[in-house]
A and B are shown apart, each in its own frame.
Chain A
Amino acid sequence: MTETRADIPMVKAEALSKSFGSNEVLKSISLEVKRGEVLCLVGPSGSGKSTFLRCINHLETINAGRLWVDGDLVGYRQHGDKIYEMHPKEAAKQRRDIGMVFQRFNLFPHKTALENVMLAPTLLKKGHRAALQTRAMELLARVGLEDRHDYYPAHLSGGQQQRVAIARALAMDPKLMLFDEPTSALDPELVGEVLDVMKGLAESGMTMIVVTHEMGFAREVADTLVFMDGGVVVEQGDPVEVLSNPQRERTKAFLSKVL
């Protein structure tokens, strides 16, 4: 079984659908993300990119289809041919393996950068506080902010806050990282520092799904580029290929506006 684990894709979606009321946001999405792969999701707003991302760590419940992370169904448990809803505790456990970075950072404003990074490990992991703190400082160093460890989020710039948020998401040692437009809320001059951290993370072999409008980042770092529109995957493939030679009219129209 352990041998086959490595062959299982990190994320696998099969005919995944999601609707809010009568509004169908995702229409039968099928996708695979391999271990160590970096996948960039692009597309116009309202195309369902963020919703797809939020389905992966069960912040949204899917209506139809199947979704697996590391071989396990997300939010459900299968016995025979019956599907059972997962207990919130199990769902929480499942989320610990998936890090998420939000567009608006969502750092905890009443905690310092270090406390933000340490919160989840302190509550959920066993081990000495000192060891957890050393590890948290390492993560802050990794995003270049160890000297800012005792600053509150309000005292950090947007770029610094997002880097702390990345360190916080890494603190539970996730096997998969989700980025929901991580640079969209940043001043243009601060985008680079966040993308650099993400690039470093990709190079270290982390499996990443990134919803982004940064085509330069997608071209340089992504293994796969997926273009979504209207809740369906319009086109996917090698980023350089898709960006320079899009096959579909819809992709061409979108890229001509953003490139």
Chain B
Amino acid sequence: MTDTNARGAGSEASHPVVHAEPEAIQAIKLRHPWRNIFAVVLVLIAALFLYDTAFNRPVYNWAEVGKYLFDTRILTGAGYTLQLTVYSMIIAIVLGVTVAVMRLSPNPVVKAVAWVYLWLFRGTPVYVQLVFWGLVPTIYKSIDLGIPFTEAFVSFSTKDLLSYFTLAVIGLALNEAAYMAEIVRAGLLSVDKGQDEAAVALGLGWWHTMSHVILPQAMRVIIPPTGNEVISMLKTTSLVTAVPFTLDLYGRARDISAVTYQPVPMLIVASVWYLVVTSILMVGQYFLEKHFAKGVGARPDVQKPTLQTSAVGVVGPTGAAARGADGSGGAGGMP
């Protein structure tokens, strides 16, 4: 009874109000003087620094920077740095996935081995590890294949087998794999358990479930920190001098400055190339992230409210009636 009353009253009441255009608010903008002052100060400091760098500091020697920026030695050095980064990251990712899967294994021995690996390689400085890898040919003079405690079938001299470049890659990769393992593990754990169940219920085996269902989804979580690791690796390669491998970008820059007695311009040259490569890697990361974000983007039109559903929440004749029915019937019927 009250219901019908209210609805009748509500629709009557709504007619004059509903279609009136609401007036746009013409507010005076709130001022932020400190923001502006802070910005001006920052710009001033930056400008002063740039001016000073360009004209007052002969030690930067910009002419020298220009002269060596495209020097062949520098360019091949950048090439070696890039190779070190790419090779060691590829090995680190493969090894990292393996260690991550091992850590999630039901076999306690496998789990423990993975844990010890992580403990060892994350717990010691990468510089120390690289020095150690450099000593490997001295400690293990030959690599023998055969049955232990008997005469070896084949024997290789470690020095001939492993160049300093290879040792640098191994050192960087094994260290990085420990970090990658944790990143991959976090990614695998981030995938909903229902996904695994759905795949298993379809009759997929472990490998298919991993490669087609779990890993592609884990990638969304894995890629951003991995991009971080790649960029970090690019710069860590400057430590390979510990092996000693000296043909990388920083090693080459230092070699040149040892002859010219001008270290600062060569540091700038090296930095410019590190920045260039980092920028390229960042672009690559953007596209990778986009690829693995499939299916999680903004919802297209289907999910936007249709005419019918949107009408429910809109304050119109129906909305006003609903409100009238909610409150007291009298209030709705007032006018």
Contact = CB atoms under 8 A, between A and B. Distances in A.
Which has the most chain B C-beta neighbours within 10 Å: A106, A112, A152? A106
B208 A123 contact: yes
A100 B302 CA distance: 27
B204 interface: yes
Interface in A37-59: 57, 59
Contact of A119 (B202, B206, B295, B303): B202
Assign chain A's interface to a size class. 35 or more
A168 B205 contact: no
A154 B195 contact: no
B212 to A, nearest CB: 6
A93 interface: yes
Interface in B177-200: 192, 194-195, 197-200
Contact of B202 (A153, A154, A157, A172): A172
A175 to B, nearest CB: 13
Contacts of B297: 152, 154
A205 to B, nearest CB: 22
B200 A155 contact: no
Contacts of A254: none
B215 to A, nearest CB: 10
Interface string A75-113: 000000000000011001111101110101011111110
A171 B204 CA distance: 13
Contacts of A59: 197, 200-201
Which has the most chain A C-beta neighbours within 10 Å: B200, B294, B295, B302? B295
Contact of A124 (B204, B217, B302): B204
Interface string A147-172: 01001111111000000010011011
B295 A152 contact: yes
Interface string B159-179: 000000000000000000000
B292 to A, nearest CB: 8
Given A106-B194, A119-B212, A123-B212, A95 B203 contact: yes
Given A106-B194, A109-B295, A111-B295, A155 B201 contact: no
B296 interface: yes
Interface residues of B, number: 27
Contacts of B213: 108, 119
A29 B295 CA distance: 42
Which has the most chain B C-beta neighbours within 10 Å: A57, A123, A157? A123
B29 interface: no
Which has the most chain A C-beta neighbours within 10 Å: B201, B297, B302? B201
Contacts of B198: 100, 102, 106-108, 165
B217 A109 contact: yes
Nearest to A57: B201
B135 to A, nearest CB: 44
Contacts of B302: 148, 151, 155-157
Nearest to A101: B201
B203 A124 contact: yes
A6 interface: no
A136 to B, nearest CB: 13
B202 A88 contact: no
Contacts of A96: 202-203
Contacts of B217: 108-110
A120 interface: yes
28 contacts: A89-B205, A92-B203, A92-B204, A92-B205, A94-B203, A95-B201, A95-B202, A100-B198, A102-B198, A104-B194, A106-B197, A108-B195, A108-B198, A108-B213, A108-B217, A110-B217, A111-B295, A112-B295, A120-B202, A123-B204, A123-B212, A151-B302, A152-B295, A155-B299, A155-B303, A156-B302, A157-B303, A168-B202
Interface of B: 192, 194-195, 197-206, 208, 212-213, 216-217, 292, 294-297, 299-300, 302-303
Given A59-B201, A112-B295, A155-B300, 4 more contacts: A102-B198, A108-B198, A109-B217, A155-B303
